[in-house]
Amino acid sequence: MTMDMESLRKEIDAIDVELQNLITKRAHLGMKVGQIKSQQENPQFFVPERESKVLSDVVERNKNGLLNDKDMVQIFREIISATRALEEPMRIAILGPEGTFTQAAAHSHFGHSFDAVFRPTINDVFAAVELEKAMYGVVPVENSIEGVVNSTLDRLFDSTLQLCGEIELRVEHSLISQTDNLLDIKKVLAHPQALAQCRNWLNRNLPNADLIQVSSNAKAVEVIRSEKGSAAIASETAADIYGVNILKSNIEDHVGNTTRFLVIGRIAVGPTGNDKTSIMVSKKNEVGSLVELLEPFARLGVNMSKIESRPSGKAMWEYVFFIDFEGHAHDDINVQLFKELKDKAPLFKLLGSYPRSAR
């Protein structure tokens, strides 16, 4: 049995050497691609549609693999991330400080080989990309339980940035504190969405604690690590980063709690064959006006996955509708759809087309 174990380990070691040599070879090829790109007028070192195709091919080849699709994709994502960094180091604007779920979402999309540009608010993330202090930004847009993040929708209204991707992240909240006993906690700090997502647990276990809203869960951990009698709601990663104890794990009220994030950038994304498009339209507050806007979707057979309304801010009871649907803006059917919507709506804005999230 010992000989069999030694033989297997030697075979594994040999494969590791082969894998490492192949990864190095891939990195050299990536550097050559980067050199060619750098000679172009406006080089684009991160090409979302190309990376989406590569990862889709990974899933397709994994039909008989022992590793599940998610794990296999993550392995390749990190290889791509590390080799992409050899072409051009990327700067990604993230809702900070370090340890937020937004940072985790960025890692799941871009891998870990990028420079994080932490910003305190969603508005600041948009500004960092608009002012070219970052190539892309990642912002939360909706939660499966609590609904949309209004500040993101409001910022999309006036921003010139493109939507370049989406990320769906399973959210697991922990109660984090320097205090060892739940009975000693007098206040709980967290982002408003996190407080809402843990509302029932907090009512049952900390009914008398003051609930205090802050700009991010990671900021909450930063604050409470020097305060006795205080707790934060955040990820286990945030607890590790800031060296604070986890009192309770998985305090979210609903299993499967998921947050959707958007990737924002300055360059439109080409079609991949598995895309989603987001638009913004408005209509006067008249009887049947919304039905008139939605009619072309049904008639043309365009599958709409989401519609959300927000006050326009321009006139009382006037609303803007944010709509997500399947397909790319370049698809013939959507070109026709846009033509009809522009004829019907006083405001039409294409927010972007992007690869659908790999769930």
What are the residue numbers of the active site?
A: 259, 261
Q: Could you tell me where the beta strands, DSSP code E, fall in 147-186? A: 147-148, 162-170, 174-177
Neighbours of 97 (CB within 10 A): 20
Torsions phi, psi for 330 (to 5 deg): -80, -15
26 and 84 Cβ atoms separated by less than 8 Å: no
- Measure the CA–CA gap between 173 and 168, rounded to whole angstroms: 16
Angle, helix 69-87 to helix 2-38, in steps of 10 degrees: 40
100 and 238 Cβ atoms separated by less than 8 Å: yes
167 and 108 Cβ atoms separated by less than 8 Å: yes
Least Cα distance to 261 among 68, 96, 30, 101 occurs for 101
* Residue bearing tokens 């043309």: 300
Lookup: tokens for 9: 């380990």
